[in-house]
Structure 1
Amino acid sequence: MKANILAVDDEKDMTRLLQRTLEPEINCRVSMAFSAKMAMSILEQETFDLVICDIRMPGMDGFGLLEHIRSNYPDLTVVMLTAFGNIESAVKAIKKGAYDFIPKPFEQDEIIFKIQKALERSLLLKENKRLLKEKEIRPSHLIGKSEPMQRVFDQINLVASSDVTVLLTGESGTGKDLAARSIHALSPRRDKTFIPVNCPTIPELILESELFGYKKGAFTNATRDKDGLFQAADKGTIFLDEIGDIGPSIQTKLLRVLQEKEIKPLGDTKVKKVNVRIIASTNRNLKQKIANHEFREDFFYRLNVLPIELPPLRDRITDIPILAEHLVAKHCEKLKKEPTMISQDVMDLLMKQPWPGNVRELENILVQGILYSKENIIDLSDIPLKDAGKKNYGFKGFDSNSIAVLPYKEAKEKLLHEFNHDYIGAKLSMTNGNITQAAKQCHMDRQALQQIMKRFSIDPELFR
C-alpha cells in the first residue's frame, strides 16, 4: 500500500521537485499544498502518513502549521524544510514536535533516506495504535462510555505495555482494583501471577513478613523459611491496595524495592532480586499525609511515576445505565436467579443519587434489589433508596397495615430480617465484604457479626 505524503511549500517548483524525487524511489503518493491554509484544508479531507513542510512561508509559517498538526493530528509525522545553515530554525522545529528537518537545497540520497525513516516511524505508530485497539479493556474489568472513563481507558492502554510503577487514586468504590487488573491483563506480564494485597487489613508486623518472607527462626513460630508475596509475584504484578494506610517502616522497605528491585526477608542477611511490576492504589490525600509527616515524600514520588485517577460515580452519571445492567446480570448469574430487569422508575432514581460509596454502593443496592424483587423486575419497593439526594442507606420500611395482620413474633422477625440485611449489607459494602472491618464499624467483635450474618443468611461474597 502506498504511503500518502503532503508536501507544503509556497514555492510550487519545490513541491513538484519533492514529488518527482520521492515518487519514483519510495512507494508513495505526494500531494501538494502551496500555503499553510491550503494544507490545513487538505488535511481535513484526507489522511496522510507524513507532512513535509517548509518553515518560511507567507501568512502562517511552517511553525504555525506544525503547531496546528500537533494539536489536531498528534500521530502525524512532520519533517521540516529549512534554508541551508539555518540550524537555529531546525532546532526550534524539533523542539516544537517535528520528527526531523532537511536543509535546502537537498541531496537526493539524503532526502530519500530521511523520508524513508520518517515513514517507518509513521508505520510503527499506526501498528502500535492498531495493537492497542485490539487489546481494549474488556467489560469484565472496567465499564463506561463517559468521557472521564474514556480518559482512564486511554491512560491504562498507555501504561500497560511498560513496567513503570502506577499509582491509582480515587475514592473508595471507584474500581481501583479493577483498573489494576486491567493494566496487568493488557501487559506483557499477563500470563504471569497477579497478586493483590489489601494493606490496611493486615497488621504491620504481619504485613512485613507477608510481603518479604522470612527465614527460619526470624521470630517465634517461624519454624521454616517462607517466601513472601514479592517472590510469589516474581515476573508478574503485585497490587498494593490502599498503600496510603501503611506505616513508615514498611514504606522504607518498599522504597528499597522500588529503587533497587530487591527485597530482604525477615531474619536474612542477604538481599534477593525480584522482577515485579508494582501497581499501588490509595483513596487518601498523600500530599496531605506528607505534610503531616505520615508518608515519606521520596516514597510518594517513586510511586507516583504514572498516576491514574479513577473518577467518582457522580462525575460519570451517564455510565449508570450500562453499569447497572451489567451488575444485575452478573449477580443474577452468581445468585442463580432468573435474568432481572430494572424498572425505569428505579433507573431514574439511580441517576439522581450522589453515590458517596460509588460503584460499590450501586452494586450493593442492586444486589438487594435482586434479592427482594418479584416477577424478575427491580421496582422502587425493592431497593433501600427513597428520596434522591438523601443518604443512600436507609431502611426499606414497611406497610403498617400489612405488618399489623401478622403475629407479633413473625412481624418482629420480618423487620429484623430487613433491618439486618440493609444495615449489615451497607457496612459490608463500605468495607468491600471485609467482615473484620465491618465488625469494627458496627462496634462489635467479628464472631458476633458472623453469628448475625449466619442467622439472617447474609453472604459477604456478594459485597466483594
Structure 2
Amino acid sequence: MKGNFNHFKILIVDDEEEYREVFKEILDEKGYITKAASSGEEALNILKTHSFHLVLTDLIMKGIDGIELLEKIKEEYSETEVIIITGYGTVENAVAAMKKGAFTYFIKSHDLEELTIEIEKIRKIFYLENDNEIFKNQQKNSKYMLNTNNKKFIKIINMAEKAANSNVNILILGDSGVGKEVFAKYIHSCSERKDRHFLAVNCHAFSDNLLESELFGHEKGAFTGAIEQRKGRFEAAHGGTLFLDEIGDISLSTQVKLLRTIETKKVERIGSNKTMDVDFRLISATNKDIQKSISNGEFREDLFYRISTIIIEIPPLRDRKEDLPNLIEFFLEKSKLELKKQIHTIEKKVMERLLSYDYPGNVRELKNIIERLVVLSENGIIKDIDLSKYRVDSERDTKSREEKIHNNKEVEEIQRIRSLKDIRSEAEAKYIKKALEISGNNVTEAARKLSISRRQLFNKINEYKLR
C-alpha cells in the first residue's frame, strides 16, 4: 500500500540504468513521485522546468558528476535537498560533499531501508517548515480579522486572551461562518502552547466510526480497512491544542469516549488495550443550541460541563457592522494577492450594498463574496452588476423583494409545510453547484472558495448528486 506523502517529488540521477530503475521502483512503491535522469546534464535540464524536493544523485558520473551537480543545485535551487549515492571507495568524497550542502550520503551496497529513512527525514522537515509558515500566515490573518471597533467584541477578545493563559477547556458558540476556528487559533497563539501543534477536527465531516478513528487512532487490523496503524488526533495534539469544531454533532456513543478521554487525559487506540497519557488543550465549538440538545437527550450534560469551563459567544457580523470596512479591505487585498488581479476601482453602489447587507453567512460569506467580485472584475473594476447576481441587497432592496414575493405565487411555496432541513439542503446544493461552475468544475478550487475541505465537498457532491 502506498503511503500518503503529499506529492513529495524526487529526481533520481544515475548513469547506470539498473540503479535508476531499482531506486525508482522502490520509491514509487513508497508513495513518492519520482523522475529519473541518466546524467547530470539531463538532470539540470529537467530542473529548469520541474521543481523537486530532493535530488538523489550518484557521485561518479561522466560529464557533470555528483559534486558539480550538487553545487549547481545549491546555487540555483537552494530549497532542493541533495543526497549523494556512493560506493565504499568514495565515502571520503561523499563526506566532502556534505560540507558543500548535501543532506547526507548513501552507500550503494547498504540496505535500501537506510535510504528511505533518510528521505523520510527530509520529507518531515520540509512539511514541518511548510506547516510552520502556513501557521504564521494564519496567525497574521487571525489577528487582522480580530481587529475590531465593536465594544462587545473587544470584551470577548479580552476574555479569550485571559482564558488563553490558563489551561481550561473553552467552548466557542456562534452562528456558522462567524470565524470560530480563527478565534480558536488566536487563543492557541496567545497560550503557552503556541509553539506546539494546533489540530482542528470538523466533527460533522465524519461518520461515527470514522470520527472515533480520527480522534483516538487505531491499530492495524482493528476493523475492515485498517491496513496500518494510525495515530489519533488526541495523540498528535500532545503538548498542543485540539480544536473540535461542530462538537454538537457527535453521537452519544462517541460522547462517552470523549468524556472519558477529557477526564483522564488518557487515550486508547481502537483495537488496543494499551493506554497512553496525552497532554492537550481542548477548544470546542458549535453553532447548535447546546442547552436544547441537552434537554432533547442529544448531548450529555456532564460532557457539556467538561468542555465549557469558559464559554465564548461570537456575535454575528450583522451585530458589528462597524468592522465591515476593515474586513472588506482585508479580504480584497488577500484576494488580489491570491488571484493575482489588480483592482483600482470599486463602483460606489457596490460599497453601499456591501456595507448595508446583513451577511447571514457571516465572515465566511463576506470572504466568498469579495473573492467572487475579484474573479469577475474586468480591467481592474468591480461593478455593481456582478454583485447583483448574488442577491447582496440593502435593507430597502430586501424589503422591496419581500413585498414582491407576497404579491405573487411564491407565497404559496413559503406557506407550504416543508422541513427546515429540506430548505437548507436545497439552498446548499444550489450554492455548491454555483461554486463548481465558477471554479470550472475544479473541486479543489471550489472547496477553497467554500472554505471547506475537498473531502467535505466530495461528500456534499455525492449527497446532492451533483455531477
Range into which the TM-score falls when normalised by the shorter chain: 0.5 to 0.7
Counterpart position of 1:167 = 171
Offset, 1:287: 0.5
Residues 235, 443 of structure 1: alpha-carbon distance in 2 compared, 3 angstrom cutoff: closer
TM-score by length of 2: 0.57
Counterpart position of 1:33 = none
Amino acid at match of 1:314: R
CA distance in 2, matches of 1:430, 1:246: 26
Structure 2: state its 5+ residue gaps. Answer: 1-138, 402-432
Offset, 1:274: 0.3
Residues 198, 374 of structure 1: alpha-carbon distance in 2 compared, 3 angstrom cutoff: same
Counterpart position of 1:433 = 452
CA distance in 2, matches of 1:269, 1:349: 59
Aligned ranges 1:299-448 → 2 under 5 Å: 299-383=303-387, 384-385=390-391, 387-389=393-395, 420-421=437-438, 432-434=451-453, 448=466
Residues 136, 428 of structure 1: alpha-carbon distance in 2 compared, 3 angstrom cutoff: closer
Are the counterparts in 2 of residues 216 and 222 from structure 1 also a CA contact under 8 Å? yes
Deviation larger for 221-230 or 150-159: 221-230
Are the counterparts in 2 of residues 264 and 272 from structure 1 also a CA contact under 8 Å? yes
CA distance in 1, matches of 2:304, 2:377: 47
CA distance in 1, matches of 2:450, 2:269: 30
Are the counterparts in 1 of residues 208 and 251 from structure 2 also a CA contact under 8 Å? yes
Select 1:255's aligned residue among 232, 255, 259.
259
Aligned ranges 1:15-414 → 2 under 5 Å: 139-140=143-144, 142-383=146-387, 384-385=390-391, 387-389=393-395
Offset, 1:140: 4.3
Deviation larger for 276-285 or 216-225: 216-225
CA distance in 2, matches of 1:339, 1:431: 22
Are the counterparts in 2 of residues 167 and 306 from structure 1 also a CA contact under 8 Å? yes
Q: Secondary structure at the match of 1:209?
A: helix
Offset, 1:443: 7.5
Q: Secondary structure at the match of 2:143?
A: coil
Offset, 1:343: 3.6
Residues 314, 386 of structure 1: alpha-carbon distance in 2 compared, 3 angstrom cutoff: closer
Residues 418, 223 of structure 1: alpha-carbon distance in 2 compared, 3 angstrom cutoff: closer
Amino acid at match of 1:267: G
Are the counterparts in 2 of residues 172 and 357 from structure 1 also a CA contact under 8 Å? yes
Counterpart position of 2:54 = none
Q: Secondary structure at the match of 1:235?
A: coil
Deviation larger for 359-368 or 432-441: 432-441
CA distance in 2, matches of 1:273, 1:208: 17
Offset, 1:152: 2.2
Residues 184, 342 of structure 1: alpha-carbon distance in 2 compared, 3 angstrom cutoff: farther
Larger radius of gyration: 1
Paired positions, count:
291
Q: Percent identity?
A: 36
Q: Secondary structure at the match of 1:387?
A: coil
Q: Secondary structure at the match of 1:139?
A: helix
Structure 1: state its 5+ residue gaps. Answer: 1-134, 395-415, 450-464
Amino acid at match of 2:452: G
Residues 304, 173 of structure 1: alpha-carbon distance in 2 compared, 3 angstrom cutoff: same
Offset, 1:378: 2.0
Amino acid at match of 1:238: L
TM-score by length of 1: 0.57
Offset, 1:391: 7.1
Residues 417, 204 of structure 1: alpha-carbon distance in 2 compared, 3 angstrom cutoff: closer
Are the counterparts in 2 of residues 137 and 182 from structure 1 also a CA contact under 8 Å? no
Are the counterparts in 2 of residues 160 and 187 from structure 1 also a CA contact under 8 Å? yes
Offset, 1:313: 0.5
Offset, 1:379: 2.6
